[in-house]
Structure 1
């Protein structure tokens, strides 16, 4: 386990803590969190509790010796960014608000000044969500099971992932692998049952969030229409938003994730509020289902963010 504190050499604070604006949010928060958890402190100069919490957060981040990084965002100086993030579901009406980003997504948060022990626990959860507390031996077994799955041996992979979970019932990576194995076998119900059986304390990990999205997409695929017919409908009537949305689902079901993302981005550009923001919601589902470092997810998130901030 990565411990906070201790006598090891600490990384320079300048390497771990920085001020961030709208211009570098994607690089220093979303992209950076694919490598290490990023703790985001939303604050303001007039906020009394922020003045107490900020130094406590910095101390805890420095004590983690590079296992996490921290960025500070002045909400008054970055109102457009704050508004855009609020529209995406982050409750930033009250500050201080502290959010942990892992693999490009917010996975945990708290508001207000809290004791140092709660800050340490918050940072530990972020580290563990990024796999910082995993057992090396089990990780080797997970890697072997992933290779089985990649080579098409889904049944063997499922058995291996299940055996790992008998050793460590909280291993999020094994749960994610088990779900993908069942989906590869076409067993959507078993995949959903496996996900529902995961412990509540790991429900917000990136692996389980991805598994949830993968199951949702598998269900959609069962009802997807013919790509050729839907493409013809969109070409005939470009402003037929439902046809474009259905085309995106059909493209993803056929294995063309990039095509699906392109159609959804086009739909979002044409009418971001259509069907209660269905295009953005579907994009997030696809991004969550993909590996966080997948170019389709990385580029798609950037394009979507640029549209939101425009």
Structure 2
């Protein structure tokens, strides 16, 4: 049995209602199979996957021919697996054998309209894979489609900030209601702006790196270099520098190293693997 709304098991009791009458509402792909049929076991998972992916463009109806021999005989099934596509009460097309996924898609696309992928879902998959540049156009499209969705706006702002466009990110955040500004993504954007402002009063990156090489205990140079690294996307070395400050010089700047480290956590987001790693290391350093 299945709990999916896109897949159903067929018997003589529901063949009329679910296949013939059901095909008047949406195409029904009927898969005739049996437990002993190895090609059937290869084909069925692919059909189930496509039924879920097409999200209602068709319904998969599974017929166990060992248990439902009358249905198989009525349809005239001669070999397994046999798959027929029923629409408007009529057989529209059919095939036999275990087709590969690409051929199954081509078969379906001749007769049913595949649903368009949700740009927000696509964007979040790209963000999870680290492709922020690829995600931004999709997030912009999603925001155009859902102008009142604060989650979409925050996702877009955070991606823009991480790809070096803080002004655009801040403009989006400025349009949000006050309650949305407590979101960690908003805190991250504010942290990015604060880091940029701090750098305005510091020597250049190369000068700070030279100072630190000459004197590893130069906490000010180490902290400033970490800020440059964060804004350049070099997050792990920046976190190492800030953790060093927490461990060796917490008195500097009234525990400023720890404060900056927490701001970087906000900047990267709670789900970032580096945040989980360095939050644990920070806890160990403090306690």
User: Which protein shows a greater Rg?
Assistant: 2
What TM-score do you get using the length of structure 2 for normalisation? 0.49
Per chain length, whose mean CA-contact separation is higher, i.e. which structure has more relative contact order (CA < 8 Å, sep 6+)? 1
